[in-house]
Structure 1
């Protein structure tokens, strides 16, 4: 059996499109990281980059439970005996008014939330835990521009007030393309909107669709973020943290500074594992 490393922990974010992972020590230092589209290729890369068996693994998974089983089987083949703890949201009902966190600090894993039981995805839950740990006592708006766009509101007292869900940049475009398939070709894998961003009227159906939807999508998300800031119910600054594959396309449309937070789910797993969070290397941007 491979030698086990007692002070290194594997964090696994099994998202809709990619398996992202981070190997960290108890002080929050990241020793290795990676992201792959497939589970098998992702685990193969981990084995190359991590020569010893981690002390344990923490997993956040979205989608069908069978995806967790496939990942566990691949990890068991690579590292027999590795314990994988899959996390689930731990929500505590929140009152309508403000409420001190009391015993529900970041390290407890419990999140006071107004969201319906069983409805909050584990990725959003982990990102909220990370934001609460990084911004204690401050209101935060979390934006994840991925397959879908989620915008969550964390009040200054650590209570999750709820959020918003919108179509992702490519989700609605794909639906419209099917309706216009005689004039608009589907985007090839990895192909982006071309050009981006352009707001001049399109001179063919593809341009008209791409420019119309891109402008509406970015403007709509920006409007929701503005509403989310207001929902934080504070007269002071509100931090905005931005993650997701389409974060770069969205950033220019937001009317206030934002902080890149692409490792939010992994950081939330670190909180649950009792690990320190790594330094971000940047200041916390807030509203002026």
Structure 2
């Protein structure tokens, strides 16, 4: 099986080993790759090579980047083999992978958020969780120990926040390079923007954890996404970085449901 996480910036893919299971201390894939949307030629070559080594028979895709990218992925997969490959599109469901979806309309919960929560629960079953994905947007979702989704937050991602200030404020430089450690109170404009953006992200996460702890005493925070390494050092709460929670959730759901 090939697992695909088509996000707003990157397309990430992975192939698990047969019978593979994941643990907090051991999240490794048999094959893994990531490309930006404009690198479809690179993706095509990678998938063709993968298919030549071990034919792909099933594909499970989480796509939040829209129909155009979905069509492009479908077209690429059709080039792999004259024989049709089973392609399934992951959707949010009322219940799957140990998660009970309580969104007002379960179908409108982003499939990437749903997959991330499934992945997080598979790694830490029976725990109250705050599940953070720090990508183009930052999503912060809460789970009870029994796997009930209790709601979440969505805010602009770290780079989106900083780019917005740099592009729309007179004479401010564009911020391309995020740094892992910086003073809370900066003595220059670029540093002040970075500090403001990182601490806005950290503050939202910390508030989510603090509020969640009012209901459950033992709350764990899992952080994923490209901005995770920049946000984590600035948190005042324990938080574990887990790469590719969406792919882990897709893998978990694929073992519990027939695709």
Whether contact under 8 Å (2:137, 2:156) holds in the other structure is yes
2:26 paired residue number: none
1:40 paired to 2:32 = no
Matched, 1:67 2:72: no
Note if contact 1:143-1:151 (Cα within 8 Å) is conserved in structure 2: yes
Which consecutive residues of structure 1, in runs of 5 or more, have no partner in the other structure? 1-8, 93-103, 276-288
1:54: which partner in 2? 56
Structure with greater helix share of residues: 2
Q: Are the equivalent residues in 2 in contact too, given 1:240–1:257 (CA < 8 A)?
A: yes
Aligned to 1:11: 3
The one-character-per-residue Cα deviations of 1:246-266 (angstroms, maximum 9, x if unpaired) are: 101111232332222212111
Runs of 4+ in structure 1 off by over 6 angstroms are none
From 101, 123, 147, give the equivalent of 1:113: 101
Deviation of the 1:16 alpha carbon: 0.9
Give TM-score, length-normalised by structure 1. 0.77
Q: Cα deviation per residue 1:197-230 (whole Å; 9 max; x = unaligned)?
A: 2334333x43443333333443343333333444
Seen in structure 2, the aligned counterparts of structure 1 residues 213 and 140 have a Cα distance that, compared at 3 Å, is closer
Query: Which structure would you say has the larger Rg?
Result: 1
Secondary structure at the counterpart of residue 133 of structure 1: helix
3-state SS, counterpart of residue 20 of structure 1: strand
Shift of 1:234: 1.6
CA contact (8 A) 2:141 2:149 kept: yes
TM-score with structure 2 setting the length: 0.84
Cross-structure match for 2:239 = 258
**Paired residue total:** 244
Runs (5+) with no aligned partner, structure 2: 22-28
SS where residue 162 of structure 1 aligns? strand
